[in-house]
Structures are given as structure tokens and as C-alpha cells.
Structure 1
Amino acid sequence: MTDSPAARPLRILHVFRAPLGGLFRHVLDVARGQVERGHDVGVFCDSSTGGPRADAVFSELAGRLTLGVTRVPMSRYPSLTDLKAQLSAIALRRRLAPDVVHCHGSKGGVYGRIPALFSPGRAYVTAYTPHGGSFNYKPGGLEHKIYMSVERLLEGATDMFLFESRFIAGRFEAYIGHQPRTAHRVVLNGVSDAEFAPIDHGAAEFDLLYLGELRSAKGVDTLIEALSLMRREGLSPRILIVGSGPDEDELRQMTRERGVADQCVFEPPAPIRMALSRARAMVIPSRAESLPYVILEAAAAAQPLISTNVGGIAEIYGPNHRQRLIPADDPVVLAGAIREMLAMPEAGRLAQAADLALHVRQNFRLDDMIDGVVAGYRDALKARGVPC
């Protein structure tokens, strides 16, 4: 697999903060695909997050990433740790001499692009994939204003914007006030052929599944409120809640206060396909998203889905299914959607899910994502006059 027989292999350094969630999945998919296409690839990220899973993944990849895996302490919010991490990133880039520094997320965008501000004649290019990041903050607040000021400053240090969804590309234009003045393209997240194998629900012991982080943006509290409303009507669907996060204790307490604790089983993060097989339908009650992998993976596996209409989720659902999406922060509507889904005959649920899987197969392919990213790099290198 190569992007062009005549094109030279590239040296690519991926820079991001936390080896967690969809952003980490994206980096891993892109990095593996780039290695398969003959490129030299490295990773620079945080050493204090990710836990055993990240350690295991990096151990497995160590022999394939010829530019290595470099991990240093990083903080989620601005702190003195940033300066040390920034200096480490600069030293690593100088030592590795990459052709491309691909920045992921807000913090990765800072570490990879600030040095480029002061290197107008540099021989490498910067690429930036926001993954929501700064653009998911609510407009009007102080944090949003600060982050948008940083994004405006770093725009001139970005050779190629690689937006992972049309939604985030639109947010950039709305919040910054214009389309990127440098090169930009939308390269949609993609999933592999193996992920389209249907899930066997024959042994499912739960009615519903939530899988994701346990924090406010994911709307799990709205889901618990919806379960409480259904309980008053005499309906008690069992739900498996798979994930971890800063709000876990609070959400567990909320299930007790709302009288639904006996319906809710909390489990730590686990492989998604294993979790999907344990429930008849999946619920995504998010308040904010970009183009979430959890929905791409579930939709590809033909898992019946209930989801809010936030971020780029409507892009995943496409024109034939987006009318099924519901508003965020509305437990009454969510309870109704759950009631309707569970009342639907199984054949109808699975047919609906299979139709969505077909749409995802046609529009969200892993190879298209990897090739689109590399093509973006080469366009940026050509614009900078670097042979590629």
C-alpha cells in the first residue's frame, strides 16, 4: 500500500496530549496506515494518561514506529508543565527532522504549531486536526474567547487544516470569522472492513448500552433522568454503562437518588464490539461531539442506535436517517426515543441498523481517511516548495 509509486516516503510526527478516546483511535489508525504505506512515523504525547491500555498499544507498535514513541508529562489545562513539554517537543522535532508535524487536538495544536510561528522558512509542514477541541467550547464564555484567540494566532503557523468533520470545519469559519486562510480539507474519520461484521445479540442481557467517557459533555445525566421518567411509568430497561471519567462517582450517586440504580451496571472501559453484543440498543445522549468513533463503530456493526443531534453525528446518519436524531438535554424526548426503540419488533430494529451500516460503509472508509491525510501532507509540502 503506497499513495503513489513515484512519491518518496515521508517522515511524520504525530503530536497530541492524551492517548485516550476517539482522538487516540484516530492517531493510531492513521499512524498504522502510514506505516503500511512505507512512511516513517513517530508519536509525541502525554505520559500521565492512557493507563495500561495505552502502554500495551505503544508496546505493540514500538517496533513499527521508526521515529519512536516519546511520552512526557502534559497537563490538560495551561500550566508550567506546558513549558517543559514544549521544549521537549522542539528538541524531538530537531532530532527527528520530520517532513510533517501533524498536530491533534487543542494541546497538540499548541505544541506543534507555536515553534512554526517563529520558523517561516522551515523545511517541514504543520498539519492540524482539531478533533473538536477548542471548537467544542460554548461561545461567549471567557475560555472560548481565549481559545479562539489562540486558534487565530496559530492559523498562520498551519500549513494544512485536516478537519475530521464538516461540522468542525463550519465551526472554525463561524468562530474564527472566515475559512482557513491556509490550505484546508475535510477528511472524514473512517472505519475498517472488519468493523462491518454484524454483532450477534443472541446472548444480550441488557436492553441498552452507553459506552464513552463519564463527563458532563456526554450527557449521561440526561440518560439517567430519562430512565427515572420511564420508571415512573412502570418501565425499567436494564442499561450497561461502560466507561470512566471525572463524573463517575456523581453519576453513580445520581442513579441512587433517582431510584434507578438497580437497572444500571457500571463497568470500566472495554472493547466496543464486546460491549455491543451485550445490549439490544445503544444510547448516545451527548451534548457535544465532533465526528465520534463510537457511533461510527456501532453503526458499522449494525447496532440499533439512539443518538442526539450534536456535532457531526448527522453526517454519519446521512439524509435517510438524520431525522431519527433527537435534541440534547431533553430527558422527556430521550425517554420517548428509548420507549419507541424497545417497542419496535427486533426485525425492524435490525433492518434500520443494517441500512445505516450500508451508508457508513459507503462514506466512512479507513483507507480513504489515511490516503486523504497523506494527500493533504503532500499538497502542503508542494506549496512550501519541499520535494515530496
Structure 2
Amino acid sequence: MAEPKLRILQVMRAPVGGLFRHVADLTRALSEMGHDVGLVVDSLANDAQTESKLGALLPYASLGIHRFAMPRVLGRGDLVTPLGVRKLAKSLDIDVLHGHGAKGGFYARLARMGGGKAIAVYTPHGGVLHFSRASRSGRIFHRLERLLMGQTGAIIFESAYAQKTYSALIGEPTCPTRIIHNGLTPDEFVPVPPDADAADFVFVGELRDLKGIHVLAEALVGVHRPDGQPATLTLAGDGPDRAALVEQITRLNLTDRITLPGAQPARAMFSRGRCIIVPSLAESLPYIVLEAAAARLPVIATNVGGIPEIFDGSAESLIPPSDVPALQQAMQRVLDDPQAAQAEMEIRLARIESAFSLANMAGQIEALYQLLLVKT
């Protein structure tokens, strides 16, 4: 017997980064499965790029794209928006409220309070897990997590690491949980060969301390090609620490060795380097590692978050975060022995092809929705 058609509202704050990538992929997949999907997003942080991204999702969002005030930190919108989302869910006869990230999960579960037939599913995507217990915001968000557990139908973790961290920070969930890894589309497994003038290395991500950009710049100083020429780097992205990074690049005399093309789509940047570097100080399960490996690029990454789950079979090559000498040595090894780097890439590719597909991700999430609705 065919599963019933669902009416699903995906709730998130800003359409940026891996969280938005996940929501966009899930929205398309659920729509193609025959479900009706709508989006709730922030009305405070919209620009031309935001509108373009959301516009591309409109054909798959049969229940529309709805905007509410969602402040980045705690603010007045946190009191008003949940009521608006609750009203919207009732008017659209929603079956599933799926909150993504700290704020999306907060709003989806608060909207569930006060009745209504919708179940609330929550995917942290790192979010609340990045708040320290020592910070005021961390204490508030962790307490909210515990208070909202009773409104949570299930929590989906994109990695075993995220599940373990959540339990350590907030407590063992009293609702059902699932580990469902992020997935890639078939076209993302098409190889991306390097351009003739590609740099030795490429970084794609937000320019902020947490991504390890300053560690990367310092490590590059002592890395050289086998012919003695200094190694080069394409550093694509934008963010709050861009100015400090530019100052560091100048101070280290790296202006001729580092190219800064600004924020760019990841796949478009893969041809601009021969090896991708993910030097993050903290992560959950970064798409960039999956995407790069699927495109047949060697990857140097830190041993943080769920990255070892992607590197299963080649995890011995992961390096400690914030370790300049270790990163420098890993970069030098790739230049000195590209055949070994290629062989490791093949191991990682096989792992990703078998365990990280979009069809698998969306299918598991849909099955969870259906199971929870049967139980209500």
C-alpha cells in the first residue's frame, strides 16, 4: 500500500551554508516523492543571493515560502515568530514541522505547543552544539532544548558525533533519535579535473576563525612543490574574519601565493585547486568534504566532528585541529607523493558512494516521518 502524501513545513533561519544545502536537497527530494512542502525562513537576513537561492526552490515548495523575523541572537522575534509559525501550520494543515538548526528547531517545537496535529522533528546541524556551557547563550539554549524535549517527535543527527555531543551537553534525548548522514546527488559524483593553472590547494568556506583559516595561512608559509617553488592556495569564501585574514596574508608575505576570489559555489572552485583543505576547528558533518571527495579531489582535513565518519577507512590521515606543523606536513606529503594522495582519495570515494547518497538520506527521513505519524 502506498504511503500517504504528507504536508511538510521545513523551518530554518538563514538560507546559507550546509544547513541550507541540506534543507534544499530534502525539499526537492520530498517534492519529487509526491509530498507537499513549504519553507519558513528569516525575513531579517535577505539579500539578492538569498532571494535567488529561495527562488530556485519555489517549484518544489508547493506550500510556499514564508518569512518571519528570526534574530540571530535572542530577540523579540523569538517571542512572536513561534505563534506565527503555529498559525501558519494550522492554516496549511501541516503534518510535519521539521526544524533545522538551533533557531529552526526552537520555532518548530514551540509552534507545536498548544495543540494541532503536526509532529515536530528536529535536526540540530551543529547549531546548539556549538554553544559552550560557559556562555550565557549556551546555558539558555541548552535549557530550552531540555524544556522542548516533550514537544519533539524525534531528533535527527547527521553524524554519530552530533548525537554524542548533544547527549553530553544537554542530556540523553527522551524522544526517538536517528543518525541519518547527509547525501549527495548523482551528478555530484562526476569528476572535476583541475584547471591548467590550478593552485596546489583550495579552501572553500566561510572566512571565520572556526574554519581554521588562520592556521591554514600560517601552514602554507613553509610548503613547497618538488621543484622548490612555493605552494599556492585559492581561498574562496567570505565572512566576519576576512579583514583579519587579509592582514595576516600581507604580514606573512603570501599575497602572491594566495588568491581570494570571494564567496563562490563549492563545485565551481574545485577546478581551481589540486587538493582541497578543510582545516576546521569544529564541524558536524561538512558537505564540503563529501562534495570534494565525490569530485575526485584529495582532501586534507582535521579530526573534528563527524569528519572521521566520512574518512572511515582512511581516518589515519586526519590531523589535529589548530596544529600548524601537522597541517604543513600533510600539505607537503600531498605535493611530494601525489600518487599516495590519489590512492587515498579512491578509498574515500568508495565509502561516500556507498553511504552518502541523497536518495538514502531522503528515504530514511521520509520513513521516519511516516513512522511518527502512525504512532500519534
Which TM-score band applies after superposition, normalised by the shorter structure? Answer: over 0.9
1:81 corresponds to: 77
Residues 1:109 and 2:102 aligned together: no
Q: Report if the CA contact (8 A) 1:302-1:356 is conserved.
A: no
- Per the alignment, in what secondary structure is the counterpart of residue 280 of structure 1? coil
Q: Pairwise CA RMSD of aligned residues? A: 1.7
Q: 2:375 aligns with which of 362, 368, 383?
A: 383
Residues 1:49 and 2:45 aligned together: yes
Distance 1:62 1:332 in 2: 47
Distance 1:217 1:155 in 2: 29
Q: 1:243 aligns with which of 237, 244, 248?
A: 237
- Count of residues paired in the alignment: 373
Residues 1:292 and 2:286 aligned together: yes
- Per the alignment, in what secondary structure is the counterpart of residue 274 of structure 2? strand
Q: 1:269 aligns with which of 258, 263, 266?
A: 263
1:338 corresponds to: 331
Distance 1:89 1:145 in 2: 25
Q: Report if the CA contact (8 A) 2:86-2:112 is conserved.
A: no
Distance 2:220 2:288 in 1: 22
What letter is aligned with 1:333?
A: A
Pick closer, same or farther for the CA change 1:39–1:143 going to 2, 3 Å: same
What does the per-residue CA deviation read over 1:271-311, in whole Å, with 9 as the maximum and x for residues that have no partner?
22221111111111101111110111111111111000110
Residues 1:360 and 2:352 aligned together: yes
What does the per-residue CA deviation read over 1:13-44, in whole Å, with 9 as the maximum and x for residues that have no partner?
00010100000000000010000000000000
Q: 1:19 aligns with which of 15, 21, 40?
A: 15
Residues 1:66 and 2:73 aligned together: no
> Mapping of 1:129-208 within 5 angstroms?
129-178=123-172, 180-208=173-201
Residues 1:128 and 2:126 aligned together: no
Bigger relative contact order (CA 8 A; separation at least 6): 1
Distance 2:14 2:229 in 1: 39
What does the per-residue CA deviation read over 1:213-246, in whole Å, with 9 as the maximum and x for residues that have no partner?
1112111011112123448xx7631111111111
Residues 1:349 and 2:345 aligned together: no
Distance 2:220 2:353 in 1: 32
Moved more, 256-265 or 16-25: 256-265
What letter is aligned with 1:49?
A: A
Moved more, 98-107 or 180-189: 180-189
Q: Report if the CA contact (8 A) 1:204-1:280 is conserved.
A: no
Distance 1:352 1:50 in 2: 41
Percent pairwise identity: 36
Unaligned 5+ residue runs, structure 1?
none
What does the per-residue CA deviation read over 1:303-332, in whole Å, with 9 as the maximum and x for residues that have no partner?
1110001100000111x1111100001111
- Per the alignment, in what secondary structure is the counterpart of residue 178 of structure 2? strand
Q: Report if the CA contact (8 A) 1:204-1:277 is conserved.
A: no
Distance 2:350 2:59 in 1: 36
- Per the alignment, in what secondary structure is the counterpart of residue 63 of structure 1? helix
1:370 corresponds to: 362
What letter is aligned with 1:214?
A: L
Q: Report if the CA contact (8 A) 1:211-1:242 is conserved.
A: yes
Q: Report if the CA contact (8 A) 1:20-1:50 is conserved.
A: no
CA drift at 1:63: 3.2
CA drift at 1:67: 0.5
Q: Report if the CA contact (8 A) 2:83-2:111 is conserved.
A: no
Distance 1:342 1:97 in 2: 57
What letter is aligned with 1:206?
A: A
Consecutive aligned runs of 4 or more in structure 1 exceeding 6 Å deviation = none
Q: Report if the CA contact (8 A) 1:117-1:156 is conserved.
A: no
What does the per-residue CA deviation read over 1:308-365, in whole Å, with 9 as the maximum and x for residues that have no partner?
01100000111x11111000011111111111111113x4332321221111001111
1:223 corresponds to: 216
Distance 2:111 2:85 in 1: 9
Distance 1:227 1:25 in 2: 30
Moved more, 35-44 or 48-57: 48-57
Q: 1:303 aligns with which of 297, 300, 305?
A: 297
Moved more, 70-79 or 245-254: 70-79
Pick closer, same or farther for the CA change 1:355–1:25 going to 2, 3 Å: same
Distance 1:243 1:16 in 2: 22
CA drift at 1:47: 2.9
What letter is aligned with 2:334?
A: M
Pick closer, same or farther for the CA change 1:140–1:254 going to 2, 3 Å: same
Unaligned 5+ residue runs, structure 2?
none
Q: TM-score, normalised by structure 2?
A: 0.95
